[in-house]
């Protein structure tokens, strides 16, 4: 792993096609080797990424607020019905209510903490994978500000690329057993609260007629909203993690296309006259983003050529080795995306799944609004 260079003496902001880009490149091959050559241990990076993700994760202190609100729901309902939260209470009722609040709160706290811990784990995992992918992208200005602090993989070194991929696998498998526990626990809660939700919906539309107390309805509705909101949020963060597979593959494809172009035009691109001055990128007719990648690779390859005294033929073979490594990593990412994605409740977390869920919820809310307004759902026909 290497840094793109932080020393202002060794880097120079280039002008590409007459426009200024927030991309810093080394001045020459020597600066390239210095700026891009500071190695970082992968184990250290894993610790740094984990600590970084932990520092911006959701705080568990919010669970105490949710538990407190859940505990006082019966008293709020009594206050709304009878004008007093302790209406009709005797000495035994006060004692029972006190014990119910204490033991009920402790029981709820354990369950809510585990549910919220699942959300925290998924949110932290999405941050970890974004940070890992940021190391593959040399265009730091295109990233979120918090991810610009991470170093960049040395894109012309097969060992560095392989180390990055191995680190990505380790980060993806981090806490796998805990994720399985979340899956089992969330599945149990989802089944229970979906049953409650179906009962309440059928009762609302007068399809069944059950004697359900207002307190039970309020408690069930609160738990349903809390649990399903957490699960939907977990699905969202899971979709972010799974989408990162595709984004990483696109970055690798972009780098591969530039390397193949350099290999095909190596005599022109790696000509010594372009080592110390700007390369005529516009004349090549490449897209702008590829022009930036081309300049980065050109500086890196000049550094390799000078360090190892490579001929253009040897440099071309080195490029082919890098391309082969990129293909291997991309194929493995594609396989993991298809057969080992991040799942929740047996479903692959994806934006399409979230869209279907949100569409169903919106349809249900519309039907409930029509029922509340005493309008027939079919439009009155």
pLDDT at 56: 72
Q: How far is CA 356 from CA 143, 194, 335, in A?
A: 29, 17, 25
CA 287 from chain centre, in angstroms, equals 28
pLDDT at 262: 84
> Residue 331: CB partners within 8 Å, gap ≥ 6?
none
Q: Report, as an integer, the average pLDDT of 372-377.
A: 63
Of 10-14, 124-128, 231-235, the range with the lowest mean pLDDT is 10-14
CA 75 from chain centre, in angstroms, equals 40
Question: Is the model's pLDDT at 339 over the cut of 50?
Answer: yes
**3-state secondary structure (DSSP) of residue 11:** strand
Confidence of residue 10 (pLDDT cuts 50, 70, 90): very low
Delimit the domains of the chain by residue range. 11-349
- Closest by CA to 296, choosing from 22, 26, 80, 96, is 26
Quickly list H helices, 135-175: 158-172
Read off the pLDDT of residues 47-70 as tens digits, 9 standing for 90 and up.
788 777 777 777 767 788 888 888
Of 33-42, 123-132, 144-153, 192-201, the range with the lowest mean pLDDT is 33-42
Q: What are phi and psi of 13, to 5 degrees?
A: -80, 120
How does DSSP classify residue 344?
Answer: E
Q: How far is CA 274 from CA 36, 260, 310, 333, 368, in A?
A: 19, 19, 16, 36, 69
Confidence of residue 249 (pLDDT cuts 50, 70, 90): very high
pTM to 2 decimal places: 0.76
Distance CA 368, CA 157 (A): 59
* Cβ neighbours, 10 Å, residue 318: 20
More confidently predicted of 338 and 11:
338
H-helix or E-strand spanning residue 198: helix 176-204
Q: Report, as an integer, the average pLDDT of 156-178.
A: 83
Q: How far is CA 131 from CA 66, 110, 135, 172, 237, in A?
A: 31, 31, 7, 12, 14
H-helix or E-strand spanning residue 348: strand 347-348
High-pLDDT (> 70) share of the chain, %? 79
Degrees to nearest 5, angle at CA 199 with 211 and 71: 75
Read off the pLDDT of residues 279-290 as tens digits, 9 standing for 90 and up.
555 555 555 556
| Cα-trace Rg, the chain | 29
Q: How far is CA 55 from CA 94, 119, 128, 171, in A?
A: 43, 15, 11, 16
pLDDT at 90: 66
């Amino acid at each position: 792993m290497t840094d793109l260079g932080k020393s202002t003496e060794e880097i120079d902001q280039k002008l590409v096609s007459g426009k200024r880009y927030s991309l810093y490149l080394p001045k020459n091959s020597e600066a390239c080797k210095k700026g891009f050559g500071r190695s970082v241990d992968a184990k250290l990076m894993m610790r740094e990424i984990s600590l970084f993700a932990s520092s911006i994760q959701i705080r568990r202190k919010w669970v105490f607020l949710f538990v407190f609100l859940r505990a006082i729901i019966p008293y709020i309902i009594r206050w709304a019905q009878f004008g007093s939260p302790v209406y009709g209470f005797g000495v035994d009722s006060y004692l029972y209510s006190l014990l119910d609040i204490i033991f009920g709160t402790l029981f709820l706290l354990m369950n809510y903490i585990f549910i919220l811990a699942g959300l925290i784990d998924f949110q932290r995992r999405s941050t970890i994978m974004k940070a890992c992918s940021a190391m593959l992208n040399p265009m730091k200005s295109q990233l979120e500000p918090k991810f610009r602090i991470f170093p960049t993989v040395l894109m012309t070194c097969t060992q560095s690329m392989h180390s990055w991929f191995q680190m990505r696998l380790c980060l993806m498998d981090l806490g796998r057993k805990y994720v399985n526990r979340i899956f089992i626990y969330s599945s149990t809660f989802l089944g229970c609260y979906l049953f409650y939700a179906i009962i309440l919906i059928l009762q609302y539309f007068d399809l069944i007629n059950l004697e359900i107390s207002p307190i039970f309805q309020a408690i069930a509705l609160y738990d349903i909203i809390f649990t399903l909101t957490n699960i939907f949020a977990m699905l969202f963060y899971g979709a972010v993690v799974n989408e990162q597979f595709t984004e990483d593959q696109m970055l690798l494809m972009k780098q591969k296309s530039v390397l193949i172009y350099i290999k095909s035009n190596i005599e022109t691109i790696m000509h010594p006259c372009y080592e110390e001055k700007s390369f005529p990128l516009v004349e090549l007719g490449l897209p702008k983003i590829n022009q930036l990648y081309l300049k980065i690779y050109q500086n890196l390859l000049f550094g390799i050529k000078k360090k190892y005294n490579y001929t253009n033929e040897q440099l071309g073979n080195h490029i082919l080795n890098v391309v082969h490594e990129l293909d291997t990593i991309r194929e493995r990412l594609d396989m993991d995306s298809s057969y080992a994605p991040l799942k929740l409740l047996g479903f692959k977390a994806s934006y399409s799944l979230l869209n279907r869920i949100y569409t169903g919820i919106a349809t249900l809310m519309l039907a409930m609004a029509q029922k509340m307004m005493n309008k027939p759902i079919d439009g009155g026909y």
